[in-house]
Structure 1
Amino acid sequence: MGLDLVASKRDLIQKLLKGIETGDSAAAEIVNEANYIQHNPQTHEGSEGLAALFARLSKTNPRVTFIRVFEDGDFAFAHNEYDFSSLRVAFEVFRFEDGKAVEHWDNIQPMMGPNPSGRGMLDGATEITDLDKTHANRDLVREFAERVLVGRQIGLLVTYVDVGLVQHNPDLADGVAAYRSYLEASENGVFRIQYHQVHRVLAEGNFVLCMSEGYKGGIHSSFYDLFRVVDNKIVEHWDTIEAIAPRSEWKNENGKF
């Protein structure tokens, strides 16, 4: 049995994504090309697509820095800093079968900030705790996302979110009041931020990642929100927001989600 078959998913996702930095086509061999489903609309299907992408990106002398890496069942997900001539913040999600990556999602945004509270998009807590509360924390965040973000029951915000929320969104200050103002902001009678559907919620211990679809400023967008939960309250928040490329620009037919 090869090392890849016994490696943790946490190790596999890091080995795979380090291929961006090194250009090593062997990193793409972690992908099961026959079964691979690519959800980045601007990346070709299969490991050949990844190998070509890695080779192209490596010429820009990129740097891949892992800030947080998690596992959840068949999934591994990472919160990264990329330096592709400019800094970017990324969430990467892979589904694995038999030690091979078979499905991939991501959400990438240019690095911005610091925010009004002086926080960056990637700093803050990193320690994974409360593994026994993984399922409860996942359920809490899913309920919050469905009721407050999608359902717009904004009055329930303080039910789920700590008053002193530590905020890493580059436009927001700490605290639940600033988060509420952000969700309630409108332009010409239309909410600037609109969550329409929660597609997936992944969790490990005190960290929960929510992958959602909606609109920002009228632009079809994907929202990836990472929450840290303590004692049944959301106490810290990171996110990336990415415009979803128009269908005419897609290089595969799998969709963003």
Structure 2
Amino acid sequence: MTDMTAAHNNKDLVLRGFAEFAAGNIEVLRTLLREDFIEHSPDNPSGRDAFVEFIATASVARAELDLKRIVADDEYVVVHYHMHTPEDERGTAVVDIWRLVDGQIVEHWDVVQCVPDPSRIPNGMF
């Protein structure tokens, strides 16, 4: 498999998983994440089962997720999206970085930023 093919396949896998998760299917993570999944975000657990149970109670599981862009490079897929709830209309800008091996996610990093008042971002957040 060439690097471009791996990147394309990984991007498709994450895109399909993101769409299912955004539609409310949290269990899709059990098929996407490898059992020994490594999490790099503060206070989030590593390990597939512990991570899925944690995410099921996290705000992201109840939020609307509006995908803005997805970028893939070999084993890494980067997803940039707007996460918001009715209680938090401005919401949060999120960038997830996923590393995949053999069709499963093995590692995750993220960057999370509250969306400020529009007057502070004249060029837009997304």
TM-score, scaled relative to structure 2: 0.85
2:40 corresponds to which residue?
A: 168
Summarize the Cα distance change of 1:204–1:165 in structure 2 as closer, same or farther, 3 Å threshold: same
Match of 2:77 in 1: 208
How many equivalent residue pairs?
119
The match for 1:183 is: 55
Q: Please state whether the residue corresponding to 2:41 is helix, strand or coil.
A: coil
Matches within 5 A, 1:242-257: 242-250=113-121, 252=122, 254-257=123-126
Residue ranges of structure 2 left out of the alignment (5+ in a row): none
Determine if the alignment matches structure 1 residue 159 to structure 2 residue 31.
yes
- Runs of at least 5 residues in structure 1 that lack an aligned partner in the other structure: 1-129, 187-191
Displacement of 1:184 after TM fit? 1.6
Larger Rg: 1
Equivalent-residue separation in structure 1 for 2:64 and 2:80 (angstroms): 10
Q: Is 1:231 aligned to residue 102 of structure 2? A: yes
Post-superposition Cα deviations, 1:86-133, rounded to whole Å, max 9, x if no partner, equal xxxxxxxxxxxxxxxxxxxxxxxxxxxxxxxxxxxxxxxxxxxx6141
Residue deviations 1:114-173 (CA, integer Å, cap 9, x gap): xxxxxxxxxxxxxxxx6141101111111111111x112012211111121111011112
Tell me, in whole angstroms, the C-alpha distance in 2 between the residues paired with 1:172 and 1:211.
19
**Cα displacement (A) at 1:195:** 4.4
**Deviation at 1:178?**
2.6
Contact 1:134 1:203 in 2 (8 A): yes
**Consecutive aligned runs of 4 or more in structure 1 exceeding 2 Å deviation:** none
Offset of 1:198 from its aligned partner? 1.1
Question: Contact 1:202/1:208 (CA < 8 Å) preserved in 2?
Answer: yes
